[in-house]
Amino acid sequence: MTGVLEAIHRLGAAYASWWVSPLPRARVAWLRTLAYGFIFLDVFVLRPWVADNGSVSTLLYEPLMIGRFLPLPEPTPFFVSAVKYSLLASAAIALSGRLPRAAGIGVFLLYTEWMLIAFSYGKVDHDRFAFLVALAVLPTVGKANWRDASVDAASGWALRCIQTAVVATYFLAAFAKLRYGGIDWVNGATLMRAILRRGTIFTDPLREHPQLLQVGQYMIVLFELCSPLMLMRNKIGRLYVRAAFLFHAITYAGITILFWPHILCLFSFLRLERLGSARAAFMERYVHGPA
Amino acid sequence: MSQRAKLIRVLMTVVVGACLVLGSWKGEDDNFPFGPFRMYSTKQMLDGRVRGLQLWGRHPCGPFMNLVIEDFGLRRADLEGQLGKLAVEPTVLLTELERSYRRLHGGSFPFETLQLRDKIYQLESGRPVRESFNILGTRSTPSDLVDPCP
């Protein structure tokens, strides 16, 4: 019994120390730039239709569980505009590096409401979880800048949360395929359906080769089930991260679907802190260099 | 970082992780952001039908055209959700689409007829062999409420 308790204690300590192992604060600063900058891209370019939801009849509005539990207003044109511009203002302040905690929390809350508006008309997108986690944890680190050479537990925890959320998205997506589709998901015509609905010049020829698509279906599930390998801090982990980027590039080329915010969170695996020293070297050489 | 701060953070990961696993096991889309990760999770039988919703419209002096659903304030996936799990009647949906189009375009509405269609691909052994249409609902707007021909 004592041995079991000791083993549990050691496991718990290992679990805890993994989550708070120090990682570079500069990487947090770069991720903040990407995440808060992405808010503008999302609102104006990728999903401008969210703003239009305010003009859709509230008869078609079916709030999600959070929207029914909390006293959130129905999306009228005024309310949606208020959320939109408050979100953009918070993101601009957060991008400037000022008030990282307050502005960051504002972005997290307002973007969550923005997503609740978007997903309360019949379709919930499932590529946002890691990004919401990023918006939730990035403010917890406090001030950070691109050239900060320090490593600390607060940055480590935030980055680990984002990385784990990315892996959980892949891994639990495989579980959802088996839950809703069963073995017919991999043995059926799932990718054929995607190609018929939104194929491109690259995938339309595959309509004549359903067996190839079935092989692709098995590979997708295998990729998702093995996704925890991304968390390994060695060559295998780095290779898997590259495979994830490649997977999304192929998906976009094939059916024009790109999980933008999820891909942004993939950058949490990359050594973005090196960009700070590269930028400094560039400025030194080309901007402030000898006359 | 203090031990207390570390403990709080680690406990949060346990709570969020548990919510996520529970949502994936028992939850539905309604439980966002802790619902199941259902992207492309539905199966498609090798000898089944693939459906794609389309919105068609006709100007007073033109043929039927396949319209851009986003011009009406929603996505195709939203319309499919409204007709599917939310079980909204097609004609009710078309009425609301006309209303939202007018709100988005300053009262203007150029379509005397709106129609929801299912484009259907019949599969045999996983290969598409036939295409067809199924009209789900049609709505006509009186000509005095429609923009004149350009």
Residues of B in contact with A57 (CB under 8 A): 96, 99-100
Q: Are A94 and A37 in contact (CB under 8 A)?
A: no
Q: What is the pLDDT of residues B65-121, one digit of tens each?
A: 999 998 998 888 888 888 876 678 899 899 999 998 998 899 999 999 999 999 999
Which pLDDT does position A288 carry in this prediction?
A: 67
Helix A25-41 vs helix A273-282: crossing angle, to nearest 10: 90
Q: Taking residues A121-139, what's their average pLDDT? A: 93
Å between B96 CA and nearest CA of chain A: 6
- B85: amino acid identity, one letter: K
Q: Taking residues B138-150, what's their average pLDDT? A: 87
The alpha-carbon radius of gyration of chain B (Å, integer) is 22
Name the residue with tokens 């079916």.
A62
Q: Does B105 touch chain A (CB under 8 A)?
A: no
pTM exceeding 0.80: yes
ipTM for the whole complex: 0.86
Q: Nearest CB to B100: which of A56, A153, A259?
A: A56
| Chain CA centroid to CA A38, Å | 11
Q: Nearest CB to A188: which of B6, B45, B127?
A: B45
- Tell me how far apart the alpha carbons of residues A95 and A154 are, in angstroms, rounded to a whole number: 19
Which pLDDT does position A221 carry in this prediction?
A: 95
Does B42 sit within 8 Å of A161, measured CB to CB?
no
Q: Taking residues A142-153, what's their average pLDDT? A: 89
Does B104 sit within 8 Å of A55, measured CB to CB?
yes
Does B45 sit within 8 Å of A184, measured CB to CB?
yes
- Tell me how far apart the alpha carbons of residues B30 and A126 are, in angstroms, rounded to a whole number: 12
Q: What is the pLDDT of residues B132-142, one digit of tens each?
A: 999 999 999 99
pLDDT band at residue A289 using 50, 70 and 90 as cut-offs? low
Q: Taking residues A246-266, what's their average pLDDT? A: 94
* Complete DSSP assignment for A13-44: HHHHHHHT--EEHHHHHHHHHHHHHHHHHIII
- Tell me how far apart the alpha carbons of residues A123 and A121 are, in angstroms, rounded to a whole number: 6
Q: Does B87 touch chain A (CB under 8 A)?
A: no
Which pLDDT does position A290 carry in this prediction?
A: 55
Which pLDDT does position B128 carry in this prediction?
A: 93
Does B32 sit within 8 Å of A66, measured CB to CB?
yes
Chain A stretch 50-79, residues whose beta carbon is closer than 8 A to a beta carbon of chain B:
52-53, 55-57, 59-60, 62, 64-66, 77
Does A177 sit within 8 Å of B73, measured CB to CB?
no
The token pair at A20 is 């708070």
Which pLDDT does position B85 carry in this prediction?
A: 67
DSSP H/E element including A9: helix A2-19
Does A180 sit within 8 Å of B38, measured CB to CB?
yes
Q: Are A280 and A147 in contact (CB under 8 A)?
A: yes
Mean pLDDT across chain B, nearest whole number? 90
- Tell me how far apart the alpha carbons of residues B104 and B143 are, in angstroms, rounded to a whole number: 20
Evaluate if residue A23 carries a pLDDT over 60: yes
> By CB neighbour count within 10 A (0-12 exposed, 13-18 middle, 19+ buried), where does A78 fall?
exposed
Does A19 sit within 8 Å of B36, measured CB to CB?
no
Dihedral sign computed on CA atoms, order A157, A160, A166, A167 = negative
Residues of A in contact with B93 (CB under 8 A): 60
